[in-house]
Amino acid sequence: MKIIRSNAPKAVVLIRLVVGGIFLSEGIQKFLFPDAQGVGRFIKIGIPAPEFFAPFVGVVEIIGGTLLIAGLLTRLAAIPLIIDMLVAIATTKIPILLKSGFWAMAHEARTDFAMLFGCVFMLIVGAGSWSFDAYLSRIMKGKSDTKEKTHE
What's the structural domain count of the chain?
A: 1
- Domain assignment present for residue 103? The answer is yes
- Domain assignment present for residue 2? The answer is no
State the pLDDT at residue 79. Answer: 98
- Domain assignment present for residue 1? The answer is no
The whole model's pTM is what?
Answer: 0.91
23 is in which domain, residue-wise? Answer: 12-151
- Domain assignment present for residue 33? The answer is yes
- Domain assignment present for residue 5? The answer is no
Query: What CA–CA distance (Å, rounded) separates 81 from 64?
Result: 7
- Domain assignment present for residue 91? The answer is yes
State the pLDDT at residue 147. Answer: 59
Is residue 21 classed exposed, middle or buried when 0-12, 13-18 and 19+ CB atoms within 10 A define those classes? middle
Query: What CA–CA distance (Å, rounded) separates 102 from 43?
Result: 25
- Domain assignment present for residue 64? The answer is yes
Instruction: Name the stretches of the chain with pLDDT < 70.
Output: 144-152
- Domain assignment present for residue 142? The answer is yes
